[in-house]
Chain A
Amino acid sequence: MNLAELRGISKSFGGLAALREVDMAIEKGEIRGLIGPNGAGKTTLFNIMAGNYRADAGSFRFEGRELLDVAVNDRVSLGVVRTFQNIRLFGTMTALDNVRMGFHCRTAAGWLASAFNTRRAAGEKAWVTGESERLLAELDILPYRNEAAKNLSYGNQRRLEIARALASRPRLLMLDEPAAGLNEAEGRQLLERIRAIRDSGVTVLVVEHDMNLLMAVSDRVTVLAHGQKIAEGPPAEVQADERVILEYLGGGAGHAAG
């Protein structure tokens, strides 16, 4: 069964066509890799799926529901959650509070309940704190719980962003270059983590420049170039595809080593 189905997604910025009629179907429970040279339109596709940008044309069905007209924050409650290529944490907040923010869409305490710290609001708060600590521990950053997010190391910031995204209990988790800036050991760890996330029932869409990592982790891979889909299939098939080889090896887009 398809969890997400994109059809004919197009997007231009001024005269530049960043995406042209892109179709993509993501199966429930898979890890889908998304690759392409710089400027291929990967992040733009994320922005459209998450709702940060408006598509010029096309449709995005998620669990049978059209999402393109749904607000960003409402998509989160429906289970479409993303991380950012250039890490976007709440810098002044502690690591713990950043993860707590991930629970925003799963909790209900409003202004009045919070103002008087009603028993229900207090109970919810305690639950969120406990769950957040569990997530911090899961991503090995519990010791930094009271540090301001902006003071964490780069690798820990990446972990924290994933923890925050997981807190919202995504059904489709979209990771934009989660391994960027990580060393090899951290990269391997991330790979395991992505598998674990999938095994917990989350479908994952991951953009990555590190070919080895991406091919190792993905069930299927979609390749974008110049805003168009040029290949799709299991890693081995895609790696052997002529056009892909041309784009990556012949086209002079020499960043595949990440």
Chain B
Amino acid sequence: MIPASPGGWARAAGLALAGVLPFLLDNNYVFHLLAMSGIYMVLAMSLNLLIGFTGLFSLGHAAFYGLGAYASALLTQDCGLPFPAAFALSGLLAAAFGAAVGFPALRLRAIFLAIATMGLNEIVRLFLTNLDGLTGGPAGLPGIPEPDLWLVRLGQPRDFYVAAMLLAAGTYLVLANILSGRPGRALIAIRDDETAARSIGVDVTAYKVAAFGVSAFFAGLAGSFFAHYLTYISPDSFGLSESFAIIAMVSLGGLGNLRGSLWGAFLLCSIPEIFRSLQDFRELIYGLTLVLIIRVLPDGIADWRPLAARWRQWRSGPGLGGEGGGP
């Protein structure tokens, strides 16, 4: 891809610089942080496809993430599949599961869809915890092989940093293409006005089911990558708190803002890590972020206009600000 404008070149240069910077630091911890950021970028972007672009409040994204992770671990450990095959298959399995779940869930109104997907997340976690024979139960699955990509074998955090960024970049390109193309526009149309979308020829159900499938596909890939990176997984990594963390990232970056999801994931991964003392408050930070964003910056950190408006209103003093606009 060749940047089309000076701004494009500047961005490309900035990206290249940001990509090279970690090598100058050459610090395994930094590499690890960025590898995890990459995984969360994929998760946040794929969830944004559902809640931000299609208006489907799916609150159990970690279910698809966990499914991908366990599928990939079992496919390599028990079935002896090479990593690339297990990686692709876990994406496809998660997609099939997502579409199968999406189908009945779509009959539900927004609030019930939210509750149902949260329930699904718990069900998946309970299955992973209780199917001891298959999943290792609460103790999890250790000894997952590191990715062997025929030519290169990923082992060092540095390798995973590069691979995670490539995965995030690939996901971004694919989703950006979809969103600027015919299917993506149909999703946004459904979000804006379902009746109008149907009345201009959109098969709303089919698109919603497909959106669930595609979203789950990328979550599954992220899960697979995660499993083979840490080489150990347990059900705790895929509970509701994980889903909420991803939702917080999506909200921070802005619902319906794909690039924002990259920032949301990066920031919410790094902040608790950079301030090591905050580690124990990870979930609290995610919760607070979510509440603050919804209250203060409903369009995410990329759009400060609501905050600026508030500031002006506050400056102009009470009485002049009015009642805070109704419709």
A13 in contact (CB, < 8 A): no
* Complex CA distance for A105 and B198, rounded to whole angstroms: 11
Closest B residue to A113 by CB, please name it.
B181
A125 in contact (CB, < 8 A): yes
- Within 104-144 of A, Cβ neighbours of B (below 8 Å) are at 104-105, 107-111, 113-117, 121, 124-125
B177 in contact (CB, < 8 A): yes
- Tell me whether A102 and B199 are in contact (CB under 8 A): no
- Tell me whether A111 and B178 are in contact (CB under 8 A): yes
* Complex CA distance for A111 and B196, rounded to whole angstroms: 21
If A97-B185, A111-B210 touch, whether A104 touches B196 (CB-CB below 8 Å) is: no
From B77-85, B187-195, B243-251, B307-315, the one touching the partner chain is B187-195
If A73-B201, A105-B201 touch, whether A121 touches B181 (CB-CB below 8 Å) is: yes
Q: How large is the interface on B (under 10, 10 to 19, 20 to 34, 35 or more residues)?
A: 20 to 34
Chain A residues within 8 Å of chain B by Cβ, number: 38
- Tell me whether B214 and A111 are in contact (CB under 8 A): yes
- Tell me whether B177 and A168 are in contact (CB under 8 A): no
Q: Tell me the minimal C-beta distance from B269 to chain A in angstroms.
A: 26
- Tell me whether B184 and A114 are in contact (CB under 8 A): yes
- Tell me whether B195 and A52 are in contact (CB under 8 A): yes
B204 in contact (CB, < 8 A): yes
Closest A residue to B182 by CB, please name it.
A109
- Which chain B positions have C-beta within 8 A of A101? 185-186, 189, 197, 200, 202
B132 in contact (CB, < 8 A): no
- Tell me whether B196 and A90 are in contact (CB under 8 A): yes
- Tell me whether B200 and A93 are in contact (CB under 8 A): no
- Which chain B positions have C-beta within 8 A of A113? 181
Q: Tell me the minimal C-beta distance from A129 to chain B in angstroms.
A: 11
* Complex CA distance for A114 and B174, rounded to whole angstroms: 8
* Complex CA distance for A84 and B197, rounded to whole angstroms: 12
Most B CB contacts (10 A, CB to CB) among A72, A121, A125 go to A72
Closest B residue to A76 by CB, please name it.
B201
A88 in contact (CB, < 8 A): yes
A258 in contact (CB, < 8 A): no
Closest A residue to B196 by CB, please name it.
A88
- Tell me whether A91 and B192 are in contact (CB under 8 A): yes
- Tell me whether A50 and B182 are in contact (CB under 8 A): no
* Complex CA distance for A73 and B191, rounded to whole angstroms: 16
Closest B residue to A91 by CB, please name it.
B192
- Which chain B positions have C-beta within 8 A of A121? 181-182
B183 in contact (CB, < 8 A): yes
A162 in contact (CB, < 8 A): no
Q: Tell me the minimal C-beta distance from A121 to chain B in angstroms.
A: 6
Beyond A101-B197, A104-B200, A168-B201, 4 extra complex contacts between A and B, CB < 8 Å: A92-B192, A92-B256, A107-B182, A165-B200
The 9 residue pairs across chains A and B that have the minimum distance between CB atoms: A114-B181, A105-B201, A76-B201, A88-B196, A90-B192, A109-B182, A115-B174, A72-B198, A117-B177
Query: Which residues of chain B have a CB within 8 Å of any CB of chain A?
Result: 174, 177-178, 181-186, 188-189, 191-193, 195-204, 210, 214, 256
Query: Which residues of chain A have a CB within 8 Å of any CB of chain B?
Result: 50, 52, 71-73, 76-77, 81-82, 84, 88-93, 97, 100-102, 104-105, 107-111, 113-117, 121, 124-125, 164-165, 168
Sample of 22 A–B contacts (CB below 8 Å): A52-B195, A71-B203, A77-B201, A81-B200, A88-B193, A89-B192, A89-B196, A90-B189, A90-B192, A91-B192, A93-B185, A93-B189, A101-B200, A104-B201, A105-B200, A105-B201, A108-B182, A114-B182, A116-B174, A121-B182, A125-B181, A164-B200
